[in-house]
Structure 1
Amino acid sequence: MSSTLLEVTRSAHEEVERLERSIVKELQNSHATSKDSLFQSHRIRHMIDTITATTEKLVEIYEDKDNARKDEIAALGGQTVTGTNVFSAFYDRLKEIREYHRRHPAARVVNSNEEYEAMLKEEPVIEFSGEEATGRYLDLHELYNQYINSKFGEPIEYSAYLDVFSQPHKIPYKLKLTRQYREYIENLLEYLIYFFQRTKPLEDLDRIFSKVAMEFEEQWADGKVEGWEPEDQGNGHVPDQHTVIDLDLYSTVEELVEVGPEKLKEALAALGLKTGGTVQQRAERLFLTKHAPLEQLDKKHFAKGSRGSEQNGIAAAPQVNNWKEIALTESKINKLCQSLDETIARTKDNIVKKQALTYEEMEAEREDEDTHAESESDDDDQQIYNPLKLPMGWDGKPIPYWLYKLHGLGQEFKCEICGNYSYWGRRAFERHFKEWRHQHGMRCLGIPNTKNFNEITSIEEAKELWKRIQQRQGYNKWRPDLEEEYEDKEGNIYNKKTYTDLQRQGLI
């Protein structure tokens, strides 16, 4: 009977032993495909989680904080409130069993072995996107778009991004001190953890991260975290590389004023200090950090919300903790990438293979498919009637006309960048901007294939838009006043502006 605490305990022990035998039995089975092996791992993971939950319930019962187990054991020996009466306890328990069967007359014994046999044969539900191909490849397209459209990233191909996403330590530290970069690495870590749990369910991720955290604390204390090595830790200062401005090069506030307001603002923001005020006030505020650590500065110098809780009268500097959290996240990403190195290599090979597929090879595959379809048709002695010349479906027969009209497959789109190649239907047209043919055409034009150029199929329009983007961003902008050079009779070199001013003054 499961109504008593002791019966619940016995049932829980039985369930744990049955699950352990099921795990052993499952591990004795070998599978030919990686998909079946993955399903096996998830079934074992589910049984291990069930054992853990049941064991926690048993521990709670044995702790017996409410003395319920102790009272029930005493009742079995006849020790009731009225005294010791073995027969009374026996008949009370018998009455309880009869009452249970009176309420449940249709109750029957369930063969638990059949239930667990069915569990072994059940295929777990694992969510994989089409790009991930049941855990063989990574799907980093969203993170790739976030990377190339950020200030810390660069416009590179997806295949090249697969080489650099696992190396965040190579990004300059100044670009890491932004909310945009922090959101990017948090999203990257979240995806890698999710992918790792789906493809390697038997790995103990908590233990892996605990080891990473221990090693990280030692390296951070010694200043040996890759990409975050301090140049000067003296007197409790924040490392010089994180202050953006090297204060050792300036001996007075007046010299620091010459740096400029924007540079001072950037340095103050990196330290969590207030960035407002005049240039003189900013320089004075920043100059305070040269001879005193952040912990000794007055609270009024820090920006609102950037100060943590105070301990022993000394306020902490949360900005340093933020850097530490970013560095720890990078260490976790590096560890996961090391564990998934084979998957990363397979993903890159798959992308390169898709990009290297030439037009002739695609046409050859299409001809082979048509030949194969024709041979099957000849074998079946069936002649396909297709007067409207509709596209063929997966079964080798023309698709329905309503489906043809629904997807607009009669509408032709031409792309000059793809060599005037025709795309039929809006869906195929929108999808082709990410395919190899369009990417190759953009590379030939020397233009990065970003989302700014979606819906643009003309070469001239693409060049004109790229020119405007370059002008807006300051790329390849010719500044004759500063870059055009002039030489006087004595061989001195001046730019155009300086040379014109000296000539006007009669000095040349």
Structure 2
Amino acid sequence: MSSTLLEVTRAAHEDVERLERLIVKDLQNDPPTTKDGLYQSHRVRNNIDTIISTTEKLVEIYEDKDNARKDEIAALGGQTATGVNVFSAFYDRLKEIREYHRKHPAARVVDANEEYEDLLKEEPVIEFSGEEAFGRYLDLHELFNQYINSKFGAKIEYSAYLDVFSQPHNIPWKLKSTRQYREYMENLLEYLIYFFQRTEPLQDLDRIFSKLEAEFEEQWANGQVQGWEKQGQENEDDPAQLTMIDLDYYSTVEELMEVGPEKLKEALAALGLKTGGTVQQRAERLLLTKHTPLEKLDKKHFAKGSHGPRQNGSTAVSQDINSLKQIALVEAKMKKLCDLLSKTIEQTKENVVKKQALTYEEMEQEREEEETQVDTESDDEDQQIYNPLKLPMGWDGKPIPYWLYKLHGLGQEFKCEICGNYSYWGRRAFERHFKEWRHQHGMRCLGIPNTKNFNEITNIQEAQELWEKIRERQGVNKWRPDLEEEYEDKEGNIYNKKTYTDLQRQGLI
């Protein structure tokens, strides 16, 4: 019976009201465990998202841009092209209703109480790694390795990294101008957002960030952003100090050409070198400064009237003040999330320190205590997990059974070059990672859309070759008017545009 627009509107309003009642009923239940509370939050979040999408459809119906709703209301009143006939409209609608029930004699009314019970028992799928222990701890090991192997980082222990990762203002701002730091901060922010959305689904992160961005704009204008005090004004006075292209990340001319002709031109101009030529010639000229000091370069590479470079040859300037501002904004968002997750960060620190302090004998003792002690779930969560085989953690924060470990092939390693040679254990985790943030970020860096065409592809070169083939195929399939646009002569003969034009030019038609 949802064939009419008004019936669709009524059904949408009913769905919204039903979901609102379901949310109220769900929130009236006090979850006994942390896991149940997280399930409840995700159920409510899913229902809220459904209400939002349904309401947006209702708004489109009420806007009635195509006048379909207005015409349907007029038809209900019996208005036709010939006049008003109320009885005709009534019997037409009655006939439609009878026809519907004739076709669906076994249709039954859905009991809302049954749907309530099913939806309230639903357990949403929430993915946590074993290290995260169902949202109790952060898993920053990958970002930790990225930090200690960088120029802006330091060789510290993981426990010490948990104290400093939320304090980017302690890093000198000149080290923040590199691509390596920008990628690190973007990865850190993406992980924290992903973790926050899994553990706090009812928080409105968009509203939090909107408020933060408004405050950030004011602080940046006044030079009060922590770690970036007055850097904006200083950089405006000295364009050569904006941001640098770190040539350590480029080993060939082809790689440097991907930066683009304009960026290469700006970098060469900042060094006092010639900016003309093709993209390849500019890249070759700039790459010379990687291993050769500027004062030892041949004078033919320098522009006429140049007074020499404004900085050393290991790096070149290529970014404007807006890029620095974006890095500072990413830092601000990251620090805001750290404030919201402060309790989780503290629990992660305590867990890491506890693991480091345990000896083998203490781990054995804890294992024996776990075998003899029967306690509640909350008490079990506070105990140290004995895991000598280093099996992955399950949803309850405990190691999965060994037979399940073998069944899913979790001992099999899959590496993805697009994800930075990150390892995935087990076929299921490998297949799932193509939709996760790390792989999506890698594809964005390559400038390739993360579609189903690229599933199972982990090699950067293979992905780029496939993308080129797809682009070529799309180019072939484009409409070509000279061959596909049709023309008809006086006798009814059909020609394409090119043939018709030639015949007409020759006076044959």
Question: How does the TM-score come out when normalised to structure 2?
Answer: 0.59
Instruction: Tell me the distance in 1 between the aligned counterparts of 2:49 and 2:114.
Output: 20
Q: Which amino acid aligns with 1:327?
A: A
Alignment of 1:149 with 2:146, yes or no, is no
Instruction: Tell me the distance in 2 between the aligned counterparts of 1:269 and 1:166.
Output: 33
Q: Any residues of structure 2 matched to 1:298-447 within 5 Å, and which?
A: 318-365=319-366
Partner in structure 2 of residue 64 of structure 1: 64
Partner in structure 2 of residue 461 of structure 1: none
Write out per-residue CA displacement over residues 340-373 of structure 1, whole angstroms, 9 at most, x where no aligned residue: 000000001001000000233124345667899x
Q: Tell whether the 8 Å contact from 2:169 to 2:227 is kept in structure 1 after alignment.
A: yes
Helix, strand or coil for the counterpart of 1:233? helix
CA 1:45 to 1:81, structure 2 compared with 1: closer, same or farther past 3 Å?
Answer: same
Q: Tell whether the 8 Å contact from 1:230 to 1:239 is kept in structure 2 after alignment.
A: no
Q: Tell whether the 8 Å contact from 1:39 to 1:124 is kept in structure 2 after alignment.
A: yes
Task: Give 1:34 shift.
Answer: 1.4
Instruction: Tell me the distance in 2 between the aligned counterparts of 1:2 and 1:116.
Output: 23
CA 1:319 to 1:282, structure 2 compared with 1: closer, same or farther past 3 Å?
Answer: farther
Instruction: Tell me the distance in 2 between the aligned counterparts of 1:127 and 1:285.
Output: 58
Instruction: Tell me the distance in 1 between the aligned counterparts of 2:194 and 2:128.
Output: 10
Q: Any residues of structure 2 matched to 1:91-240 within 5 Å, and which?
A: 91-230=91-230, 233=233, 236-238=236-238
CA 1:58 to 1:174, structure 2 compared with 1: closer, same or farther past 3 Å?
Answer: same
Write out per-residue CA displacement over residues 178-230 of structure 1, whole angstroms, 9 at most, x where no aligned residue: 11111111010000000000000111000011111111111111111111112
Write out per-residue CA displacement over residues 111-136 of structure 1, whole angstroms, 9 at most, x where no aligned residue: 23321331122111111111111111
Percent identity of paired positions between Structure 1 and Structure 2: 70
Q: Tell whether the 8 Å contact from 2:235 to 2:241 is kept in structure 1 after alignment.
A: no
CA RMSD of aligned residues (A): 3.5
Task: Give 1:274 shift.
Answer: 5.4
Q: Tell whether the 8 Å contact from 2:271 to 2:310 is kept in structure 1 after alignment.
A: no
Q: Tell whether the 8 Å contact from 2:212 to 2:333 is kept in structure 1 after alignment.
A: yes
Q: Which amino acid aligns with 2:361?
A: E
- Structure 1, unaligned stretches of length 5 or more? 245-267, 291-302, 307-317, 373-390, 394-398, 409-426, 428-508
Question: How does the TM-score come out when normalised to structure 1?
Answer: 0.59
Alignment of 1:14 with 2:14, yes or no, is yes
Q: Tell whether the 8 Å contact from 2:78 to 2:86 is kept in structure 1 after alignment.
A: yes
Instruction: Tell me the distance in 1 between the aligned counterparts of 2:205 and 2:271.
Output: 40
Helix, strand or coil for the counterpart of 2:320? helix
- Relative contact order higher in (CA < 8 Å, ≥ 6 apart): 2
Q: Tell whether the 8 Å contact from 1:147 to 1:154 is kept in structure 2 after alignment.
A: yes
Partner in structure 2 of residue 260 of structure 1: none
Instruction: Tell me the distance in 2 between the aligned counterparts of 1:16 and 1:172.
Output: 52
CA 1:370 to 1:34, structure 2 compared with 1: closer, same or farther past 3 Å?
Answer: closer
Instruction: Tell me the distance in 1 between the aligned counterparts of 2:235 and 2:341.
Output: 41
Task: Give 1:106 shift.
Answer: 3.0
Instruction: Tell me the distance in 2 between the aligned counterparts of 1:237 and 1:3.
Output: 66
CA 1:108 to 1:196, structure 2 compared with 1: closer, same or farther past 3 Å?
Answer: same
Write out per-residue CA displacement over residues 219-265 of structure 1, whole angstroms, 9 at most, x where no aligned residue: 11111111111268379514897589xxxxxxxxxxxxxxxxxxxxx
CA 1:407 to 1:137, structure 2 compared with 1: closer, same or farther past 3 Å?
Answer: closer
Larger-Rg structure: 1
Task: Give 1:276 shift.
Answer: 4.2
Instruction: Tell me the distance in 2 between the aligned counterparts of 1:370 and 1:74.
Output: 75
Instruction: Tell me the distance in 1 between the aligned counterparts of 2:269 and 2:58.
Output: 50
Instruction: Tell me the distance in 2 between the aligned counterparts of 1:351 and 1:3.
Output: 60
CA 1:213 to 1:271, structure 2 compared with 1: closer, same or farther past 3 Å?
Answer: farther
Partner in structure 2 of residue 465 of structure 1: none
CA 1:283 to 1:131, structure 2 compared with 1: closer, same or farther past 3 Å?
Answer: farther
Partner in structure 2 of residue 26 of structure 1: 26
CA 1:287 to 1:227, structure 2 compared with 1: closer, same or farther past 3 Å?
Answer: farther
CA 1:208 to 1:343, structure 2 compared with 1: closer, same or farther past 3 Å?
Answer: same
Task: Give 1:99 shift.
Answer: 2.5
Instruction: Tell me the distance in 2 between the aligned counterparts of 1:333 and 1:209.
Output: 10
